[in-house]
Amino acid sequence: MLNEKRKTIARNSLLLRSFPEEHVDALLTMSVFKSHERGETLFLHGETARSIHIVIEGWVKLFRIAPNGGETVVSVFTRGESFGEAVAFRNNKYPVSAEAVTAAEVIQIPTGALRELMRRDLAVSESILASTFTHLHSLVSQLEQLKAQTGAQRVAEFLLHFCDAESGGSTVTLPYDKVLIAGRLGMKPESLSRAFAKLKPVGVQVFRNHAEIQDIDRLREYSETDPANAWSRS
């Protein structure tokens, strides 16, 4: 059931925030709310896409399974983030699978209803284009990280994203397990452990499910260091 808290999160999502209010209410009335346990599948690679998903609580990963059985994490989404826009509008098959990596709450918006709104209101089309562009920009940023940063720098940026302050010290609760963090950052679990170790000299101590950061500015400086210098330190 969509209570006011869930509706507010959906309204503030990148996908819906610029929609006219009457369109948002209409879409949410037609949408389906689902709760998922950790490890539960939302959809599988190859299924026909008929909905756009907005995460209300928790974390959801998109991934593919390689022929050798290895898993590649494409992206991870949390509160207020949406996925599946581009593929759903064409009723294409999902190129990835989706799974809840924590207990998660998700709203499914039927694409038929969205397509009808797009025909009636140009602002709806512009909002969807903006959302799709943001996803593309995020993927480009991930590729840039893989090419231009060391593993330790990628981990540093990951931790900085979850800091609750701009400077000073901070304790970051890891949002999901370390195997998934490694996959999200394009690393193997053993490489993630080595990256955590390389952050100790810049004031980062990692424990079971959290990291203690002594100096956010120092960690940020490390994450922005010229890659050639960072590699020489590794």
- Nearest CA-CA partner of 31 in 14, 11, 58, 60: 11
31-85 residue pLDDT tens: 999 999 999 999 999 999 989 999 999 999 999 998 888 888 888 999 999 988 8
Q: What average pLDDT does the structure give for the chain?
A: 87
Cβ-contact 22, 40 below 8 angstroms: no
155-210 residue pLDDT tens: 999 999 999 889 999 999 999 999 999 988 888 899 999 999 999 999 999 998 99
Measured in residues, the chain has a length of 234
Q: What's the whole-model pTM score? A: 0.80
Q: What is the mean pLDDT of residues 122-151?
A: 72
* Conformational region of residue 204, where left means phi above 0, alpha means psi within -120 to 50, and beta covers everything else: beta
Put the strands of the sheet holding 170-173 in their side by side order.
Answer: 170-173, 210-213, 204-206
Q: Which CATH superfamily is domain 4-146 in?
A: Jelly Rolls (2.60.120.10)
109-131 residue pLDDT tens: 998 888 888 888 877 777 777 77
- What is the chain's alpha carbon radius of gyration, rounded to the nearest angstrom? 19
Q: Is 193 helix (H, G, I), strand (E, B) or coil?
A: helix
Percentages of the chain per state (helix, strand, coil), in multiples of 5: 45, 25, 30
Cβ-contact 93, 49 below 8 angstroms: yes
CATH fold for the domain made of 149-233 = Arc Repressor Mutant, subunit A (1.10.10)
Tokens of 111: 């694409």
Instruction: Give me the residue spans of the domains in the chain.
Output: 4-146, 149-233
Helices (H), the chain: 4-11, 21-30, 85-89, 111-120, 122-148, 151-161, 178-184, 189-198, 216-223, 227-233
233 against 36, higher pLDDT: 36
pLDDT surpassing 60 at residue 234: no
